A = this chain, B = another copy of it.
Amino acid sequence: MKKVCVIITARPSYSRIKSTLLALKKNKNIQLQIILSGSALLDRYGKVSKVIREDGFIIDSQIHNVIEGSELSHSVKSVGLALIDLSSELSKINPDIVITIADRYETIANAIASSYMNIPLLHIQGGEYTGSIDNKVRHAITKLADIHFVATDLAKKRVISMGEDPENVFKTGCPSIDIALEVEQTPVLNFDPFERYKGTGPKFNCKNGYLVVMQHPVTTEYDEAFNQANETINAIRKIDLPVFWFWPNVDAGSDATSKALRIFREFNKNAKFHFFKNLLPKDFLLLVQNSSCLVGNSSVGIRECSFLGIPVVNIGSRQNGRERAKNVIDVCHDSNSIFNAIKKQINHGKFEKSYLYGNGKAGEIMADLISKIEFKSINNNFY
């Protein structure tokens, strides 16, 4: 039995790995170990732990490491705490391989803990390129990892050019596309979002189109984050469509974004803005699939929506550098530009399907590779 430990640090990471987890669980040679940490455990971001359990998985360990407050130094402290807990936890469950996903700041703790403890590290979603600190985190993790599952050809090329052994780099596509494939096969919005997810704000009719907005702060400047949120709010207000708006992730600056939203609500109680913390991954994609346009800076717009052909208005620098299909219009944090881009996308309607980020079978491909590759820490001497 190979003990495969997957560390999930945030809600979006679960969507990026769910189909792989399902495929791993079916494999009789694999013992799945799941560690949750970071915002994945926090109520205000919609505890993904509950979702994971309801999907039939057992959570082996929970690491509470988020320091309250939004200074950059808190991210450093949270990584420090994660390392302290991981050092104990990995000693205890003693996995044969650790899997870490993507590039959130706290995931570097997963990479350090396993590489320093001589546990082979598999990194999913390396080799991509974005315009922010995520780049540094992602590439540093690449250099700590032993095996790489990447989503695109370009990503594969980048990982190899950074000096990784081509034999350890596999293009698998992104498991998030696996959920998109499911949604494409049964695309009807088969639930009432107000009913199932409550949220706050007025109800409205979804039949005549609506927008989905998800905007995360990309700056550490409180004032700037506040203004950026307001530019988007102001653009959206002028569009004559109701809106599902998702609260941002736990991040430095997210309080500024949330504050802008709360102030807006205080003075616009009747606006057709309905606010959610989060939806089940598939439900979220169904909501997006049936929307007129996705607005904001979520990577869902770049990835899943490329496969589904959903029109996307991508705001600001957060997704800079990410490969994209034709479904995306990029705009800066300017109310008018945002407004015009949304109008244009609504008029255009659905785009053609793209296979840029995979064909919907990534989970199975990954689980198959994991069960077959003989993992060994490439450098098994420490000092």
Q: Which residue numbers of A lie inside 8 Å of B, CB to CB? A: 41-44, 61-77, 79-92, 105, 108-109, 111-113, 115-118, 131-137, 139-144, 158, 161-163, 200, 216-220, 249-253, 255, 262, 266, 269, 317-318, 379, 381-383
Question: Which residues from chain B contact A131 at a C-beta distance below 8 Å?
Answer: 379, 381
Contact B84 A132 (CB under 8 A): no
Chain B residues within an 8 Å CB radius of A132: 379, 381-383
* Docked-complex contact B381 and A133, CB < 8 angstroms: yes
Alpha-carbon distance between A77 and B111 when the two chains are bound, in angstroms = 13
State whether A113 touches B76 (Cβ < 8 A). Answer: yes
Residue in B82, B220, B250 whose CB lies within 8 Å of A80 = B82
A377 CB → nearest B CB, Å:
9
Q: In the complex the two chains form, is B381's CB within 8 Å of A219's CB?
A: yes
Q: Is the CB of B86 within 8 A of A69?
A: no
A62–B89 alpha-carbon span in the complex (Å): 10
Give A85's nearest chain B residue, CB to CB.
B88
> 8 other contacts beyond A61-B92, A80-B80, with CB at 8 A cut-off?
A64-B67, A73-B91, A79-B112, A80-B83, A108-B112, A131-B381, A133-B383, A135-B379
Return the 8 tightest CB-CB contacts between A and B, nearest first: A80-B83, A76-B87, A139-B143, A80-B84, A140-B140, A73-B87, A66-B68, A140-B143
